[in-house]
Structure 1
Amino acid sequence: MTTTDARPSAADATEPVVRTHAGAVRGRREDGLTVFRGIPFAQPPVGYARFMAPRPVRSWDGVRDAYAFGPPPPQDIGIVGRTGALEASDGDDWLTVNVWTPDPDPAARRPVMVWIYGGAYKLGHAGSPGYDAQRIARDGDLVVVSLNYRVGMEGFAHIEGAPANRGLLDQVAALEWVRDNIAAFGGDPGQVTVFGESAGAGSVASLLSMPGTAGLFRRAIAQSVPGTFFSAELARDIGTALAAEVGLRPTVADLSTVDPRRLTSAGEALGPKMAQYVDRWGQAAPTATPFSPVVDGEVLPTTPWQALSAGAARDIDLIVGHNRDEFRLFLAMGGRLGRTTEEQATAALRLYAPGPGGETAYRAAFPDASPSELYERVQTDWLFTMPSLHLAQAQVAGGGRAHVYELTWSAPAHNGALGACHGLDIPLLFGTYQADLGVLLFAGVESSAEAEALSSRFRASWTGFARTGDPGWDTYDGERRLVQVFDAEPVVGAYPEEASRRLWEGYEFAALPLLG
């Protein structure tokens, strides 16, 4: 990025200048909004700071052009996190934020929504085209912020001599930047809502649980919360295996010798081989995802379910929900839709179904299900739907309020074969049907009036919640169990996945253990 001398404020109204605590930034007027991209909120995590907690950004003189997204953090190769059509800069300035605002007037005091991307804690970039937040900011008349955080080896691997959960610490630093600077962009630092999907939702759940986040946000939205949180012992064992993939020890001294963009090869190499570690890593092994938040006792003292049950977030308004057919996306991407054998279904039920009689209970609850359907159902429940529902239940148990939803509308591509799969809520919320994951879910299909109506409903609920704490439907409780069902005809009714809810009743989502 470049810095120049400040120009007179009246020189060009299409390039407004805002002064942050670290220095002035110049944005651009775009379709009725002012957009600032690639503003650093912390120093680049390189050199001595490579595996450390984020450090405050250094101030600069003059005006910094905030036209391009900051570079993506080093990461695995995947379909999410592409820079794509939206321009991103090069370099090591990974820790940046982006701001969409109707008017950078400090007197405006609009609600603020802060987006945290997903990507299995190993990939993602706030500048991905699918996360273009202009429709949310414009439709909701509020300020939207997105942020980069370290992923994969840089952000979540267990490394001796480094703090755990560095990616989460990056998110906290970005929220501190919002607290200290967003008023200058027309936002209200007392009206901040964090929202995220998949690993972003797991991050939101973690932020609700972490000491030191008090006052950084007032509301939270968690879309498809993953149930994978690692114990310190499991994280240490996986970290050793990751380092071994590049012939090193899992220490700061060793791993610092490898360029960050090359170190991603460790995760890329280990992921496909994780299934062979099932005797040691248990349920984590078949996920092919060697990164998750670590319950280390310091950065993350307990799991989010334990923390919320104890009242850690009772003062935070919460929306949490999931999609009906979450796991189907991964089956489709692996070319395995409808190809599950009885043996594979049995193995999945024995590994993931709750309790010693879990396999039998699942077969009894879904007597007409095929092997493929059982295989998908139990992994959908274990990985996303039940962690999400139980987070809402924990919030209520801890004295807080939670609104629950389920998306049941099917992605239009492939004649609806993907169902309401994982990630479908992203293009619907952002209105980005032909970007990133939307390319797969809306492939060859123009956005329909039905999709547009549902997309508008998502944004209205989310932005209304950010403004008032009310998304337009009742809170969840243990008796009525009312949820918002998002479909072609959205309705509010009893939680639809009652069979699964009963199977998982009383189950505790604990940190995944090291077995051997």
Structure 2
Amino acid sequence: MTIPGPAESVEPVVRTSSGAVRGRREGGLAVFRGIPFAQPPVGNARFAAPRRPRPWDGVRDAYAFGPPPPQDPGAAGTAGPPDVPGGDDWMTVNVWTPDPDPAAHRPVMVWIHGGSYKLGHSGNPAYDARRIAADGDLVVVTLNYRLGMEGFAHIEGAPANRGLLDQVAALVWVQENIAAFGGDPEQVTVFGESAGAGSVASLLAMPRAAGLFRRAVAQSVPGTFLSAELAADLGTALAAEVGLRPTVADLSGLAPDRLVEAGQALAPKMPGDVARWGRLAPTGNPFAPVVDGEILPVAPWQALASGAARDVELLVGHNRDENRLFTLMAGELGEIGEDRASAALRLYAPGGEAAYRAAFPDASANDLYERVQTDWLFAMPSLHLAEAHLAAGGRAHVYELTWPAPAHGGALGACHVLDVPLLFGTFRAGLALLQFGGAEPSEEALALSSGFRTAWTAFARTGDPGWPAYDTRQRLVRVFDADPTVAPYPEEASRRLWEGHEFTALPPVGREV
């Protein structure tokens, strides 16, 4: 229930299942930050499935974001604000609502942040959800989840995919509590980008998440899901970096920052060891959801094709030039030569190097390198997720962002994460600093940003983002550019190359192809 105050200026107080929380009124919204949805996963809860939050007496101030989970510091611009409090109360949610009135029944959007499953948190200014909540007149929830070894490494004696279980716990909290904030628990849309989109895809496939949301938005779905065998080998390698075995008994006494250091130590070794880590090697990232047969029974594409989420409406897409962000961050933008391009094509191209070169006869070595890695890691996994959903009778809408980031003379193109500042309208936070250069957004950028929010919030409200559902005859998608259009899927050459390819969990050592 909402506890009323005598005037509009009174700070809003809402009673949750664990206790009352007091938020603030900001720009016409009621905002609540740092509400626990689970107990801190420390002590005897370390590496365990999330546990329900402990109740509290009185009214808890929900003014500040909860502390970020232990994590790799990552790239410049991805960390949260420096004034976020420390501590181990990582499992928190934040709520933006036009009015915490239980009678409002507004649609709810739940954001799952990206960050390679090893960095990021909901207090990042890039995820300030006020514009989405205000423009769409709906409730927005953002959340933290365990990252890196805490959340995703294979550890004997611990459940797999602990980070995904945290997300399920947050969605359970939404079901139990969001009505008190003015939301409708029967109209919940999960949305996420990159690792967040991989999480959304996982939730679609997880029996424990069934019934917790009605719609899903997956922005740039990564194709990296690990087989149980590969995850076990990675877990052994990670634990070896700190001289231990990958068991709860060995690792539970180790400080979380030491486990972060283990991931940091293994990551740079991976690209040079394709023989061991296969297609995962060049990513330098040992963390991804694990197809363990229980929590995540099968990879999302197989789950959707079998009808696991047939009744969930899906919006999915990607950016045209995803991989360019990574070559920029590596200091190699536009500088990839024939040797590197050939190696990437041999590793990733489903029909072999010759097939890609034939499909893109005028492409430079650099462009082929970017294209095949964009296709393998994000573009084709995203498209195939829509097609798998269709195969089981589900409904999906597809988009592609082709508008180029304005910084670096447009050389970044429509790179990875560009959709995030456009969606949230946060042009001077996070990786948007690389993409927009800290400059004021142009009228064109603002119009495109408004178009993103209009589509996403319309989808959350009605299941229709404003363009036709995808089918395998016309293949119509929304192309987000300076003048957005509806057109056949633009990457037809890539689509044909990957037609028939099956995205599955990456196989164990010795069985990579």
Query: For the superposition of Structure 1 and Structure 2, which TM-score range results when normalised by the shorter chain?
Result: over 0.9
- Is 1:325 the equivalent of 2:331? no
Task: State the match for 1:209 in structure 2.
Answer: 205
Q: State the shift of 1:335 in Å.
A: 0.5
For the 8 Å contact 1:114–1:193, the answer to whether it is kept is: yes
Which amino acid in structure 2 is aligned with residue 506 of structure 1?
Answer: G
Q: CA offsets, 1:281-308, max 9 Å, x none?
A: 1001110010000000000000000000
In the TM superposition, 1:180-329 aligns within 5 A as 180-329=176-325
Alpha carbons of structure 1 residues 456 and 401: separation in structure 2 relative to 1, 3 Å = same
For the 8 Å contact 1:75–1:124, the answer to whether it is kept is: yes
Task: State the match for 1:82 in structure 2.
Answer: 79
Between 1:438-447 and 1:173-182, the stretch displaced more is: 438-447
Paired residue secondary structure (1:212): helix
Distance of 1:289 and 1:406 partners within structure 2? 25
Q: State the shift of 1:515 in Å.
A: 2.6
Q: CA offsets, 1:475-508, max 9 Å, x none?
A: 0111000000000000001000000000000000
Between 1:277-286 and 1:129-138, the stretch displaced more is: 277-286
Q: State the shift of 1:78 in Å.
A: 1.2
Task: State the match for 1:486 in structure 2.
Answer: 480
TM-score (normalizing by structure 1): 0.97
Q: State the shift of 1:53 in Å.
A: 0.3
Distance of 1:23 and 1:172 partners within structure 2? 20
Between 1:14-23 and 1:320-329, the stretch displaced more is: 14-23
Percentage identity across paired residues of the two chains: 75
- Is 1:420 the equivalent of 2:417? no
For the 8 Å contact 2:168–2:209, the answer to whether it is kept is: yes
> Tell me, which stretches of 5 or more residues in structure 2 are unaligned?
none
Q: CA offsets, 1:22-64, max 9 Å, x none?
A: 0000000001000000000000000011100000011000000
Paired residue secondary structure (1:127): coil
Distance of 2:338 and 2:441 partners within structure 1? 38
Paired residue secondary structure (1:419): coil
- Indicate which of 447, 451, 454 corresponds to 2:448: 454
- Indicate which of 493, 501, 507 corresponds to 2:495: 501
Distance of 1:338 and 1:412 partners within structure 2? 16
Task: State the match for 1:376 in structure 2.
Answer: 370
Paired residue secondary structure (2:55): coil
Distance of 2:272 and 2:361 partners within structure 1? 31
Task: State the match for 1:32 in structure 2.
Answer: 28
Q: CA offsets, 1:53-102, max 9 Å, x none?
A: 000011000000000000000000113641226x4222100000000000
- Is 1:360 the equivalent of 2:357? no
Task: State the match for 1:396 in structure 2.
Answer: 390
For the 8 Å contact 1:81–1:126, the answer to whether it is kept is: no
Between 1:443-452 and 1:284-293, the stretch displaced more is: 443-452
Which amino acid in structure 2 is aligned with residue 497 of structure 1?
Answer: E
Q: CA offsets, 1:207-238, max 9 Å, x none?
A: 00000212210000000000000000000001
Alpha carbons of structure 1 residues 81 and 443: separation in structure 2 relative to 1, 3 Å = closer
- Indicate which of 39, 59, 63 corresponds to 2:59: 63
Between 1:258-267 and 1:27-36, the stretch displaced more is: 258-267
> Tell me, which stretches of 5 or more residues in structure 1 are unaligned?
1-5
Alpha carbons of structure 1 residues 108 and 233: separation in structure 2 relative to 1, 3 Å = same
- Is 1:515 the equivalent of 2:509? yes
Task: State the match for 1:9 in structure 2.
Answer: 5
For the 8 Å contact 1:70–1:93, the answer to whether it is kept is: yes
- Is 1:98 the equivalent of 2:103? no
Q: CA offsets, 1:330-361, max 9 Å, x none?
A: 00010111211211111100000114xx2110
Task: State the match for 1:3 in structure 2.
Answer: none
Distance of 1:10 and 1:47 partners within structure 2? 43
Alpha carbons of structure 1 residues 11 and 31: separation in structure 2 relative to 1, 3 Å = closer
Q: State the shift of 1:262 in Å.
A: 2.5
| Number of positions where the alignment pairs a residue of Structure 1 with one of Structure 2 | 508
Which amino acid in structure 2 is aligned with residue 274 of structure 1?
Answer: M
For the 8 Å contact 1:140–1:460, the answer to whether it is kept is: yes
Between 1:87-96 and 1:107-116, the stretch displaced more is: 87-96
For the 8 Å contact 2:3–2:15, the answer to whether it is kept is: no
Distance of 2:145 and 2:191 partners within structure 1? 14
Which amino acid in structure 1 is aligned with residue 503 of structure 2?
Answer: F
Between 1:267-276 and 1:232-241, the stretch displaced more is: 267-276
Q: State the shift of 1:276 in Å.
A: 2.9
Q: State the shift of 1:12 in Å.
A: 7.8
Distance of 1:12 and 1:418 partners within structure 2? 46
For the 8 Å contact 2:114–2:193, the answer to whether it is kept is: yes
TM-score (normalizing by structure 2): 0.97
Distance of 1:461 and 1:11 partners within structure 2? 35
Q: State the shift of 1:415 in Å.
A: 1.3
- Indicate which of 332, 336, 339 corresponds to 1:340: 336
Which amino acid in structure 2 is aligned with residue 294 of structure 1?
Answer: V
For the 8 Å contact 2:80–2:120, the answer to whether it is kept is: no
Q: State the shift of 1:9 in Å.
A: 3.4
For the 8 Å contact 2:149–2:259, the answer to whether it is kept is: yes
For the 8 Å contact 1:201–1:224, the answer to whether it is kept is: yes
Q: State the shift of 1:122 in Å.
A: 0.5
Task: State the match for 2:429 in structure 1.
Answer: 435
Alpha carbons of structure 1 residues 60 and 12: separation in structure 2 relative to 1, 3 Å = farther
Distance of 2:50 and 2:280 partners within structure 1? 28
